[in-house]
Structure 1
Amino acid sequence: MRKIGYIRVSSEDQNLARQKQQLLEIGMDIIFEEKISGATMNRLELQNMLKEIKSGDIIYVTDLTRITRSTHDLFLLIDLIRGKKAYLKSLKDTWLDLSEENPYSQFLITIMAGVNQLERDLIRMRQREGIEIAKREGKFKGRVKKYHNNHAGMNYALKLYQEGEMTVKQICEITNISRASIYRKLLEIKGLDSI
């Protein structure tokens, strides 16, 4: 069993020393550290740590906001860690200790999952209610088309297509617009179902 530490701050000008000291005081075999936003799981050192962990390892963080800022991502991380038969422990969030058969930690994680789901459902419900009100008031226009009639890139792609001197593949490379988008726009212009 190894003790693996993960420490993170959001930007280059912030200091990792306090977190590092807290973990070193309880003894670590490896510490992964990085200076990057916690908004995504797509972080180099986090991914390196997830690849490194083995059965029986315990991952330590000073607090959960260091490993992720998202409840959804926390559950994903817990599942990944458990999948490798490893554990996660937070020094600040003492209720989270998955290194033992702790029914309270599992209970609180389950409650957090429920709260997270409720929050997402309430957001969707408020969004639907807002759209219905906007529709009744004639203010809802729906999603704005990405390639509207005045979109310079699409207009240039259509011009090149109409000139007929380039292949659609070449036009896509020059304009950075997908083949499907160009064909969809051509169908829209011609009012046809297929080309």
Structure 2
Amino acid sequence: MKIGYARISTQEQNLDLQRDALKAAGCDRIIDDSASGGKAQRPGLDRARELLRHGDVLAVWRLDRLGRSLRHLIELMAVLEGEGIGFQSITEAIDTTTPGGKLVFHIFAALAEFERNLIRERTTAGLDAARARGRKGGRRKKLDERKRQLAVDLYRQKQHTVIEICQMLDISKPTLYAYVDELTDIIST
């Protein structure tokens, strides 16, 4: 069975062009959706995936109707491939039920992985360069050094509950515990 998936982002848009193309491509059923492509969870896409079985094909008018990011598309394609479900994009002429279509998608996946690796390398190089200049990464501390010491002292005195200390200093429990751990590390070294 070939199931078509048609998506619009806003109610002002019209699904007719997509529906017509999917019917012409031989879809047995077409599932409509009205949701942003940036959302991973979309009711129409979820419904289409529920209907798909091993050997079926999911068809879309264009790749951007299925997802906005290449990463999301590749993840979805991996899931579909694992379930034995094919994929067709009419406009881009991609059909993963053919060797050529699989090749195109594997090239997309390789390019996406390459891009992720480049981003990781640039991030690491930037952090290393900043450390070499004496800069430390991470968020600024919510409290200055004197107030951090006060928070830890109050915690160690055990005269106030953790919640009371957090409310007095307007910090969260994880922040308080981080300050306690930080000062314990400094004292132990």
Coarse TM-score class (shorter-chain normalised): 0.7 to 0.9
Structure that is richer in helix per residue: 2
**For the residues of structure 2 that align with 1:119 and 1:32, how far apart are their CA atoms?**
32
User: Where does residue 183 of structure 1 map in the other structure?
Assistant: 177
User: Where does residue 95 of structure 2 map in the other structure?
Assistant: 97
Task: Report the CA distance between 1:68 and its aligned residue.
Answer: 1.5
Task: Report the CA distance between 1:127 and its aligned residue.
Answer: 2.2
**For the residues of structure 1 that align with 2:78 and 2:125, how far apart are their CA atoms?**
34
Task: Report the CA distance between 1:61 and its aligned residue.
Answer: 0.2
Task: Report the CA distance between 1:60 and its aligned residue.
Answer: 0.8
Unaligned runs of 5+ in 2: none
**For the residues of structure 2 that align with 1:13 and 1:185, how far apart are their CA atoms?**
52
- Call closer, same or farther: CA 1:184–1:82 in 2, change over 3 Å: same
User: Where does residue 113 of structure 2 map in the other structure?
Assistant: 117
User: Where does residue 142 of structure 1 map in the other structure?
Assistant: 137
**For the residues of structure 2 that align with 1:16 and 1:176, how far apart are their CA atoms?**
50
2:111 aligned partner, one-letter code: V
**For the residues of structure 1 that align with 2:117 and 2:126, how far apart are their CA atoms?**
14
**For the residues of structure 1 that align with 2:111 and 2:103, how far apart are their CA atoms?**
12
- Call closer, same or farther: CA 1:135–1:83 in 2, change over 3 Å: closer
Cα deviation code 1:6-37 (max 9, x no counterpart): 11223333322221221133343322222222
**For the residues of structure 1 that align with 2:171 and 2:3, how far apart are their CA atoms?**
43
* Residues 5-84 of structure 1 aligned to structure 2 (within 5 Å): 5-84=4-83
Q: How big is the alpha-carbon RMSD for the aligned residues of Structure 1 and Structure 2?
A: 3.4
Are the aligned partners of 1:53 and 1:84 in contact in 2 as well (CA < 8 Å)? no
Task: Report the CA distance between 1:183 and its aligned residue.
Answer: 2.7
**For the residues of structure 2 that align with 1:148 and 1:16, how far apart are their CA atoms?**
50
For these two proteins, the number of residue pairs brought into alignment is 176
- Call closer, same or farther: CA 1:186–1:140 in 2, change over 3 Å: closer
Task: Report the CA distance between 1:67 and its aligned residue.
Answer: 0.7
Task: Report the CA distance between 1:82 and its aligned residue.
Answer: 2.2
Identity of aligned residues (%): 27
Are the aligned partners of 1:32 and 1:45 in contact in 2 as well (CA < 8 Å)? yes
